[in-house]
Structure formats: C-alpha cells, structure tokens
Amino acid sequence: MMTAHGKMESTIEAMKEGAYDYIEKPFDIEELKIIVEKAFMDVAMREELNKLRGVTAEVEEPMIVGKSQKMFKVFKDIGRVASKDITVLVTGESGTGKELVAKAIHYNSNRRTGPFIAINSASIPKDLLEAELFGWDKGAFTGAKEKHIGKIESANGGTLFL
C-alpha cells in the first residue's frame, strides 16, 4: 500500500485486506524496489510451500531413507523417471524395497492424484490372475455373481504395481 497520508487506521485496514506492505510518500525508490522484490519472493515461497504440502499430504509412509552413493543414485533415478509419462520396470531381490520405489515414483509423478494399486502376483492363483487383472462380467464363471472391474482399469490415471 502506498499513501500520502500515514493514518494508522487506514494502514491497519489495508493490511487486514491483504496489502503486503506499507510505504508513505515521498518514498525512496530503492526502498520500493526492495518491498516489491520481497513481495514476489514471498509469493513464490508460498506457492512452493503449498505445492510441497500437497505432495507430502498424499505420500504414504514409510519413506525411503539412505545416505550412500547408491541410494543417492536411486533417488536421482526416481526423480528422473517420475517426471516422464513412461512405463517403468523396477527390479531387485525380494525385500529390497521395490514397492517403496514404485510408490516414490508414483507420488512424485503427474499421476500422484490417481490410485496406486499394488498386486502381489505370487499370491494370486495362476488361473485367477487374468480375471483379477482384467475383471469379469456377471456369470463369466462359477461364483461370478456380479461384474468386477479389473486392477488394470481400477488403476487408470494412476499406477499399477505388479
């Protein structure tokens, strides 16, 4: 707010209504530049904070932790592939955190607002895997009393982790 009359009441009211700062005429141009720069920086920081709050609110625990060079490379790779709309193959031995990596990719990608659906393929009998992935219609097999949407369709707009 810029004013020629430094009345306290109007200054307080302007600040309540959203004025960023207050400066009286005559003013120093350098002071005005500093105030404007601070206002732009404040807006940028608020936008970044809101963006980070949105991402962290959606991230599920536990998060991946590590300080080694190899983990740093994993984090870098997660960031690199999360920024692209591509299919990703995560490999590794049992218990190495493949699902955590998949979740990190999902929650750092443009698909983060979509569902993350994980399927342990080993726990589904071979003869039911196709039906679980693609779904089925009512009466398609014994016991199919209603239509069932498959995991692939359910993951639309999100991530399917097999």
Which of 26-30, 106-110, 145-149 has the least mean pLDDT? 26-30
Q: List Cβ neighbours of 100 (8 Å cut-off, separation of 6 or more).
A: 62, 63, 64
pLDDT, one tens digit per residue, over 29-84 is 888 888 888 878 877 787 777 666 655 545 554 477 777 888 888 888 888 898 88
Per residue in 84-132, pLDDT (tens digit) is: 889 999 999 988 999 999 999 998 888 888 999 999 888 888 888 898 8
Sequence-ordered list of residues with C-beta below 8 angstroms from that of 28, at least 6 positions apart, any chain: none
Per-residue confidence band for 16, with pLDDT thresholds at 50, 70 and 90: low
The DSSP secondary-structure symbol of 92 reads -
Supply the pTM of this predicted model.
Answer: 0.57
- Rounded to the nearest 10 degrees, the angle between the axes of helix 69-82 and helix 98-107 is 40
